[in-house]
Amino acid sequence: MDARSRQVTLDEVAARAGVSRSAASRVINDAPHVSKAKRAAVQRAVDELGYVPNATARALASRQSGSVVLAISAEDPAVYADQFVAEVVVGILSVLEETELELMLVTATSARGQQRLEKLLRSRTTAGMMLMSMHGDDPIARLAEDAELPVVFGGRPLNFEPRYYVDADNRGGARFATEHLVETGRTRIATITGRMDEAAGTARYKGFQEALAVAGQDARRVVHGDFSEAGGELAMQSLLAEHPELDAVFVASDQMAIGALRALAAAGRSVPSDVAVVGFNDIPMARHTTPPLTTVSQPIRSLGREMARVLHAVLSGEDPSPLILPTRLVTRASSR
């Protein structure tokens, strides 16, 4: 069958040009940041194969209508009940309600979730995509790379720098938290890290290390966690077993800090007189722990708002720069 007697696909154009599907898509949609050589190769392939872009999908994007997908790298849909994620979703919706775009939520770690996401990304009604909680070699990131759609990341991925992303100053915030513990006179400071296959986890750990290096203190009291409340409790138990002398702990998320407070109470350690505790994120529950939790506040709802604004800007033909949101320390009773 002659290529011109049927619908030529974008994959065929990319293969003929010797480029990735995403590079071919960027050339066809006249997006920036494509080399002259790739642009010329794709244009030759388009001419040779007689490729015609999907006019319906392109018209949909130009009207900034249809659906946008928020995909989170998790298997359990209950992740959307997590206070951090819920605040991000509220922020996204506050922007989308002023547009013609609708939000679809997808958990996409399982094979079934990935198949559903891939189907959505090929749908003519899907205008764009937002991604969160990317792990080191995450298959969702590869799906996004192959999508003929604009993609905005909430948080930078660990292994590459995407064109569009919104992130918080994780490293600086962790440094603020650890410096605060040093300033309160603590000399045996530990940390419970987040997932080390996520950029936020590694950045917060680096901030902790930097602050203790400047202070001339030992940064080897470390247990790696998973950003969950149960994981924080187990990690705190491990820290107490390995380093019973510790007098402070920087915990890389408030959810883990809640678990850590529970483990400290069970071990008979008073907070903050025996052990000071600082978390990260400033979720609403941080104000209601016993004692109230000192934490690094990042503008969680603003993270969602800015992700949605960046995506809408791209759909409108703009080329926004990456955005890093500031963090600040909120001091409460757990570290005074």
Provide mean pLDDT across the span 110-115.
Answer: 74
Specify if 335 maps to a domain: no
Pair (290, 177) in one structural domain: yes
- Tens of pLDDT, residue by residue over 42-94, are 999 999 988 877 544 454 444 456 789 898 877 667 777 788 889 999 999 99
Pair (153, 71) in one structural domain: yes
Pair (18, 96) in one structural domain: no
> Does residue 137 surpass a pLDDT of 90?
no
The one-letter amino acid code at 214 reads: V
Pair (177, 196) in one structural domain: yes
Pair (129, 247) in one structural domain: no
> What's residue 194's pLDDT?
95
Parallel, antiparallel or unpaired: strands 323-325 and 294-297: unpaired
Percent of the chain with pLDDT over 70: 87
**What average pLDDT is seen over the chain?**
87
- Tens of pLDDT, residue by residue over 271-292, are 999 999 999 999 999 999 999 9
Burial track 240-263 (b if 16+ CB lie within 10 A, e otherwise): beebeebbbbbbbbbbbbbbbbbb
| Cα–Cα distance, 308 to 103 (Å, whole number) | 10
Pair (163, 174) in one structural domain: no
- Tens of pLDDT, residue by residue over 165-205, are 999 999 999 999 999 999 999 999 999 999 998 889 999 99
Pair (305, 317) in one structural domain: yes
**Residues 254 and 232: beta-carbon distance below 8 Å:** no
Per-residue confidence at 327, pLDDT binned at 50, 70, 90?
very high
Specify if 46 maps to a domain: yes
Pair (216, 274) in one structural domain: yes
Max Cα–Cα distance, the chain, nearest Å: 79
Q: Cis omega before residue 299 (within 30°)?
A: no
Residue, of 222 and 127, whose pLDDT is higher: 222
Range of the domain at 28: 3-53
Pair (164, 16) in one structural domain: no
- Range with the poorest average pLDDT among 36-45, 219-228, 245-254: 36-45
Q: How far is CA 329 from CA 205, 251, 282, 326, 335, in A?
A: 16, 13, 9, 11, 11
Strands of 148-217 (E only): list them. Answer: 151-154, 165-168, 189-193
Specify if 181 maps to a domain: yes
Specify if 308 maps to a domain: yes
Domain boundary among 53, 76, 91: 53
Q: What phi and psi, each to the nearest 5 degrees, are found at residue 111? A: -60, -40
> Does residue 307 surpass a pLDDT of 80?
yes
Cα 223 from chain centroid?
Answer: 22
Pair (135, 102) in one structural domain: yes
Specify if 333 maps to a domain: no
| Cα–Cα distance, 54 to 67 (Å, whole number) | 17
Provide mean pLDDT across the span 106-111.
Answer: 73
Pair (224, 242) in one structural domain: yes
| Cα–Cα distance, 32 to 136 (Å, whole number) | 27
Q: Tell me, what CATH number does 204's domain have?
A: 3.40.50.2300
Total domains in the chain come to 3
| Cα–Cα distance, 69 to 123 (Å, whole number) | 11
Pair (183, 80) in one structural domain: no
Strands of the chain (E only): list them. Answer: 65-72, 100-107, 126-132, 151-154, 165-168, 189-193, 222-224, 248-251, 276-281, 294-297, 323-325, 328-330
